[in-house]
Amino acid sequence: MKHSLEHQIAPADQQPWLCRLMIAGLFSSALILGAGAAWADGDGHGYGHDPKSHLEKLTKKLDLTKEQQDKILPIIEEKHQRMEGLHEQMKEMRKQAMAKIEAELTPEQQA
């Protein structure tokens, strides 16, 4: 008996976990590629995790005065703290999503 490929692959509505996993993978890939491209182009994502190095780069790029630097550093530090909080939230969201995906997998798929 001859089986066509159409009968071997279940529609997305019969494998919702696979569809969700593929969407999550595509979304993650797009974020990684976009961040990498922005960092490579120097569009503000290559400043690193240190607020002082961020300020140094801004100072060189914009020729900031000492007074401007003194006012801008606290702004950068506040942004840095807020971003750290968001990073932790994103880690937790990713963890929860992966737990939900794993719940849909068979033991063989989880291995």
Q: Output the tens digit of pLDDT for each of the chain's 111 residues.
A: 455 444 455 555 556 777 677 777 777 777 776 665 555 444 445 556 789 999 999 999 999 999 999 999 999 999 999 988 898 899 999 999 999 999 999 888 887
Assigned domain for 1 exists: no
Q: Which of 49, 56, 86 is nearest to 72 (CA)?
A: 56
Q: 67 lies in a domain?
A: yes
pLDDT at 32: 74
Tokens of 39: 């960092």
**Is residue 102 within 8 Å of residue 110, measured between CB atoms?**
yes
For residue 52, what are the domain limits? 15-106
Number of domains in the chain: 1
Structure tokens at 82: 């807020």
Query: Residue 63 domain-assigned?
Result: yes
pLDDT of residue 15: 65
Tokens of 23: 């969407």
How many CB atoms are closer than 10 A to CB 74? 10
Residue 4 falls within a domain, yes or no?
Answer: no
| 2 occurs within a structural domain | no
Q: Is 62 inside a domain boundary?
A: yes
Q: Let me know if residue 80 belongs to a domain.
A: yes
In this predicted structure, what is the pLDDT of residue 42? 47
According to the model, what pLDDT value does residue 46 have?
A: 55
Give me the pLDDT at residue 94, please. Answer: 92
The full 3-state SS of 5-61, as one line of letters, equals: HHHHCCCHHHCHHHHHHHHHHHHHHHHHHHHHHHHHHCCCCCCCCCHHHHHHHHHHH
Amino acid letter for position 20? R
3-state secondary structure of 63: coil
| 10 is a domain residue | no
pLDDT confidence of residue 65: 97
